[in-house]
Amino acid sequence: MTEMETKTLILPSPSTINEIYSELDTSEEKMELDIKILKEWMQKQPHLPNPDDDEKLIDEKRIKMFLIMCKNSLEKTKVKLDQHYTIKLSIPEHYSKWDPTSPEMVQAMKLSYFVPLPKPTHEGHRVTIQCVRTEDADNYVFKDHVKMYIMELDLRIAKLDIYKKDVIIFDAKNTTMNHVTSILPYFKKAIESLLAAYPLRLHEIHFINVKSFVHPLVNVGLSLLKKKLANRAFNHKSVEELKSYIDPSILPLDYGGTYPKMSDEIVDDWHDEMMKHREWFIAQSSIVADNSKRPKNSNNDLDNFENAIEGSFRKLEVD
């Protein structure tokens, strides 16, 4: 499985990728064998999509990234793949009508972004910036913003990226009280549903330009993290402070970095990337579990999402 670089994402160096594998006690060759095992397992699960039905739909790279994010545990990866395709049934506001050209998504792109920066850290982490682009809260729909992020994340995992962990920058520079009011009622469910659908591993979280009225959102988010990770959340008084944690060569020019683009240019490049994959996105919306075929002895019955997210996976993995 050859990793392909794109205009939007620079992959870690081959030596860094090998270090990631080594830390997980695996290698490219071992991963290929494990992916084969996982595909064969999926084929035997009557309720899960068959990875050999159409190779364009079930991407091997998704299985590979799930395996990396599950720290090379085949059993954890099986559970997460099952959860991923099952949870999609319960959250149509996130997983149906994946079309980057739809009016809702075009509007979401205009008003907010949650995009990965092109250059990875030297450890192989991927840095992502989340920001409301304007103070226009009247037309801002938080659920569409979440959907846009999940689409981007899914494309990264299934098609474009390889990385060790995520580093997230939350920039609240344009966030108004009206934004907070519209986000807060759905914020907890949005985070928990994301943690249920993907085996995310966070390295650090950085907050900048956080006004006092944004603190309730920050507090809800931190309450869903394990203590060890909550201790890796940093509130910065200025953009300049970011450079003490993130190499300036990774940060865009308007964030005090030396990467030769502004954040708006990176956002536009990423939206172009999403448009290129429009047909793939549309196909993904229909790739879900069929619970009518789920074996009775399945240990991962997530028919009731509200109960499921209160279970053992509601705290984010960190190590």
Residues 216-233 have pLDDT tens digits of: 988 888 888 777 877 888
Burial per residue of 257-274, b for 16 or more beta-carbon CB atoms within 10 angstroms, e otherwise:
bebebebeebbebbbebb
Which amino acid is present at 288?
A: V
What 3-state class would DSSP assign to 235?
strand
DSSP three-state, residue 206: strand
Cβ neighbours for 212, distance < 8 A, ≥ 6 positions apart:
none
Provide the whole-model pTM.
0.90
* Domains of the chain with bracketed CATH: 19-95+285-304 (no CATH), 103-278 (3.40.525.10)
Q: Name 72's Cβ contacts closer than 8 Å, sequence gap at least 6.
A: 24, 25, 26, 34
- Tokens at 104, concatenated: 């809702």
Query: How far, in Å, CA of 210 to CA of 99, rounded?
Result: 32
Task: Pick the range with the lowest mean pLDDT from 7-21, 276-290, 296-310.
Answer: 296-310
More confident residue, 129 or 237: 129
Beta strand 112-116 with 166-171: parallel, antiparallel or unpaired? unpaired
What is the helix (H) or strand (E) element at residue 208, kind and residue range? strand 202-208
Burial of 112 (0-12, 13-18, 19+ CB in 10 A): buried
**Given this model, what pLDDT does residue 276 score?**
95
Instruction: Report the pLDDT averaged over residues 263-279.
Output: 94
Residue 128 CB contacts under 8 Å (≥ 6 apart), including other chains: 114, 115, 116, 117, 166, 167, 168, 169
